A and B are shown apart, each in its own frame.
Chain A
Amino acid sequence: MTRNSSLTSPTIMTNRRSFLASATATAVSSLAVSACAGATPKPRNIQKAIMLGTLGIKGTTLEKFTAAKEAGYDGIEANGGMNQQEVIDAYGATGLKAASVCCHTHWKQTLTHPDEKVREEGLQGVLQTLRDAKAYGATSILVVPGVCNETTDYDDAWTRSITQLKKAVPLAKELGVAISIENVWNNFLLSPLEAVRYLDEIGEPSNVVGWHFDIGNVLRYGWPEQWIKVLGKRINRIHVKEYSTKKMKDEGVWKGFDVDLTEGDNNWPAIMKALDGAGYEGWAISEQRGGINPGGLKMLTSRMDKILSM
């Protein structure tokens, strides 16, 4: 980064925010007119889904889908690179919708790997996931943008990740499937302002490249409600996950995830309020421990119902 690079300056971002604020104000005032009839607040237009990787039922794809359906989910986030026909059939048989598709290569064949060949494999994984999404009827895929570690520097990760994703943009546009970047524990993009700056550097509208916001992953560094406010309309999907900062402090950072929905330190009312403020609609995808049997899955959906009504 040069000292004079044309970064998204705080001024520009402030302007955009005040623009959004004025747009919201307009929307609110027109809502206010139509709300004079004294109607109760409109229920949120959010559907429940579960990430297939966290669905702990043993069995075939169809058996897993069926268990999700019975627990009350409306959708599934399948993985990329699966047997496409089998997944299509499972969606068809259960009537579940494709909430999203999670890229299957992004942790091993990272988009930021020092070896160019590996980065290309990572890109192929993203492209395959886009095609899978199209086949399942999903309009967004989940992509981890890379990993910083001892051998991949932060600034190199930035450049490589953006370079690879730009190569996937034409297919995303052609298929009408968004690439949504997830915040994970990859030592990369650890602040909401930087996440926005990263998306802005790619420079596509959010229905081409946007964000897949993981609520639980953020608590180690910050507050989900603040991230949501900053990312706003760039959020295409959310992962619903609990985290205990108390366990993080007393038992270790990974132990923070070892807590049931609504029993950790997520401030769910504030999170839901922030999602409302961002006008978020669509899928709430569970990536939460506990879905190991039908009872566990029901526990998850009923707790998610509670959260979504906060």
Chain B
Amino acid sequence: MNASRRSFLASLTSLGVSGLAPAQTVSGRLRKGFMLATFPDRTLPLLEKFRMLKRAGFEGVEPSNAEIPEDVMKARDETGLHIASMSCGGSSRLFASALAPVRAKAVAEIHTALRNAKRYGARSILIVPGTVDETTTYRQNWDRCTESIKACVAVAEETGVKMAIENVWNNFLQGPMECVQFIDQFGSDKVAMHFDIGNMMFLGWPEQWIAIIGRRIACVHIKEYSRKKMMEEGKRKGFEVDYLEGDNNWPAILKALRDVAFDGWAIVEPAYRPKDIDPMERLMEISKRLDKMLAA
């Protein structure tokens, strides 16, 4: 066990002594959210999407920062759904642009997103830390994202909204210890992790990453992945599998989340999108499967 996990457990124990009800973490079900960008029918108006999600049993929504804030507020207030998080992938990917003006624009957009997230009542926003590719090296991506995120920390502190870094297929932060190293360099609890369970399964085991990244996880994306399909059909084909039918060990994942006292949103980002299914029916099915996963 590493030192931070040990001291964390020690602090849990002392909390227990001071009277934290164990039921809160042991049987408290995680709240169900839905990433709007993966809504089954993207042509519907925002408010209609919110209403359908409400009907399907979701409690929160993760809109993108491209949505009009007034529309989001209106849909939120009419349905009573919470804004679980706000995805800012499009803006934050440009944190690592080679062009300084583009990086500055990305930083300004995240400042705005943090302020809107505060209005929404969201505790965190989703950040994608650039992309490593043929022209952006690992080192350049690290340095530019670090600089851009640093330029946002003050606004995050001021608004109290966390910037939660998502692990995606951007060829960057490919191990849990490196995620910790990247996040900890900012020395602020307003820089956190938005942990995507399905995205890292080609690299390792979610339950291990959760144990190492620990309390830095502000939010999780619920996503299924099939290593079998990855091996036999192609890396991206691994996503083409419904919830509970891939290689995610949900009981181990939920246990790991409980062990680190995770209390953020469980937001589904269904990568598997079967065709010719009524959107409402699909939402109900996802919601039902999510209940099973969260009860694991």
Using a CB–CB distance below 8 Å, which chain A residues touch chain B?
1-3, 5, 7, 9-10, 13-14, 17, 148-150, 153-155, 158-159, 187-194, 197, 220-223, 226-227, 229-230, 248-254, 267
- Knowing A10-B143, A154-B212, A226-B137, say if A252 contacts B177 (CB, 8 Å): no
Name the distance in Å between B83's Cβ and chain A's nearest Cβ: 30
The contact string, 1 if C-beta is below 8 Å from chain A, for chain B 227-239, is 0001111111000
B146 and A10 within 8 A (CB)? yes
The contact string, 1 if C-beta is below 8 Å from chain A, for chain B 192-214, is 00000000001111001101100
Report B-chain residues with C-beta under 8 Å of the C-beta of A226.
Answer: 132, 137-139
- Knowing A1-B4, A251-B233, say if A7 contacts B181 (CB, 8 Å): yes
User: Residue B231 contacts which of A1, A17, A190, A252 (CB distance < 8 angstroms)?
Assistant: A252
How far, in whole Å, are A190 and B143 apart by their CA atoms in the complex? Answer: 18
How far, in whole Å, are A158 and B181 apart by their CA atoms in the complex? Answer: 14
- Knowing A14-B143, A148-B208, A187-B203, say if A253 contacts B177 (CB, 8 Å): no
Name the distance in Å between B26's Cβ and chain A's nearest Cβ: 23
How far, in whole Å, are A55 and B176 apart by their CA atoms in the complex? Answer: 37
User: Residue A155 contacts which of B172, B174, B212, B231 (CB distance < 8 angstroms)?
Assistant: B212
B3 and A222 within 8 A (CB)? no
A221 and B174 within 8 A (CB)? yes
Name the distance in Å between B31's Cβ and chain A's nearest Cβ: 28
> Can you give 12 contacting A-B residue pairs, CB < 8 Å?
A1-B180, A148-B204, A191-B172, A194-B174, A221-B171, A222-B132, A223-B132, A226-B132, A226-B137, A230-B139, A252-B230, A253-B202
How far, in whole Å, are A99 and B146 apart by their CA atoms in the complex? Answer: 41
Q: Of all chain B residues, which has the CB nearest A159? A: B2
Q: Of all chain A residues, which has the CB nearest B174? A: A190
- Knowing A191-B178, A194-B177, A226-B137, say if A154 contacts B234 (CB, 8 Å): no
A155 and B230 within 8 A (CB)? no
User: Residue B174 contacts which of A2, A3, A13, A191 (CB distance < 8 angstroms)?
Assistant: A191
Report A-chain residues with C-beta under 8 Å of the C-beta of B225.
Answer: none
Name the distance in Å between B202's Cβ and chain A's nearest Cβ: 8
Known: A1-B181, A5-B3. 7 other contacts (CB 8 A): A1-B177, A154-B176, A187-B203, A226-B132, A249-B235, A250-B234, A252-B235
Q: Of all chain A residues, which has the CB nearest B233? A: A252
How far, in whole Å, are A194 and B181 apart by their CA atoms in the complex? Answer: 10
How far, in whole Å, are A133 and B265 apart by their CA atoms in the complex? Answer: 54
A3 and B230 within 8 A (CB)? no
How far, in whole Å, are A251 and B134 apart by their CA atoms in the complex? Answer: 23
How far, in whole Å, are A159 and B2 apart by their CA atoms in the complex? Answer: 9
How far, in whole Å, are A159 and B132 apart by their CA atoms in the complex? Answer: 28
Q: Of all chain A residues, which has the CB nearest B232? A: A252
B177 and A155 within 8 A (CB)? yes
How far, in whole Å, are A250 and B27 apart by their CA atoms in the complex? Answer: 42
The SS class assigned to the B binding surface is helix
Q: Is B72 on the interface with A (CB-CB < 8 A)?
A: no
Report B-chain residues with C-beta under 8 Å of the C-beta of A149.
Answer: 205
How far, in whole Å, are A194 and B204 apart by their CA atoms in the complex? Answer: 16
Q: Of all chain B residues, which has the CB nearest A245? A: B235
Report B-chain residues with C-beta under 8 Å of the C-beta of A253.
Answer: 202, 230-231, 234-235
How far, in whole Å, are A266 and B228 apart by their CA atoms in the complex? Answer: 26
Q: Is B95 on the interface with A (CB-CB < 8 A)?
A: no
- Knowing A194-B175, A222-B132, A222-B138, say if A1 contacts B3 (CB, 8 Å): yes
How far, in whole Å, are A291 and B226 apart by their CA atoms in the complex? Answer: 33
Report A-chain residues with C-beta under 8 Å of the C-beta of B132.
Answer: 222-223, 226
A222 and B212 within 8 A (CB)? no
Name the distance in Å between A84's Cβ and chain B's nearest Cβ: 37
Q: Is B184 on the interface with A (CB-CB < 8 A)?
A: yes
Q: List B residues 19-36 near A (Cβ within 8 Å).
A: none
Report A-chain residues with C-beta under 8 Å of the C-beta of B173.
Answer: 191
Name the distance in Å between A277's Cβ and chain B's nearest Cβ: 12
Q: Of all chain A residues, which has the CB nearest B171? A: A222
How far, in whole Å, are A253 and B227 apart by their CA atoms in the complex? Answer: 10
How far, in whole Å, are A229 and B139 apart by their CA atoms in the complex? Answer: 10
User: Residue A223 contacts which of B134, B143, B236 (CB distance < 8 angstroms)?
Assistant: B134
- Knowing A187-B203, A221-B174, say if A249 contacts B234 (CB, 8 Å): yes
Report A-chain residues with C-beta under 8 Å of the C-beta of B230.
Answer: 252-253
Name the distance in Å between A156's Cβ and chain B's nearest Cβ: 8
Report B-chain residues with C-beta under 8 Å of the C-beta of A153.
Answer: 208, 211-212
How far, in whole Å, are A36 and B197 apart by their CA atoms in the complex? Answer: 58
B142 and A193 within 8 A (CB)? yes
Q: Is B185 on the interface with A (CB-CB < 8 A)?
A: yes
Report B-chain residues with C-beta under 8 Å of the C-beta of A155.
Answer: 2, 176-177, 211-212
How far, in whole Å, are A191 and B142 apart by their CA atoms in the complex? Answer: 11
B175 and A249 within 8 A (CB)? no
Instruction: List the 3 closest A-B pairs by CB distance, nearest first.
Output: A190-B174, A2-B3, A153-B208
How far, in whole Å, are A226 and B231 apart by their CA atoms in the complex? Answer: 26
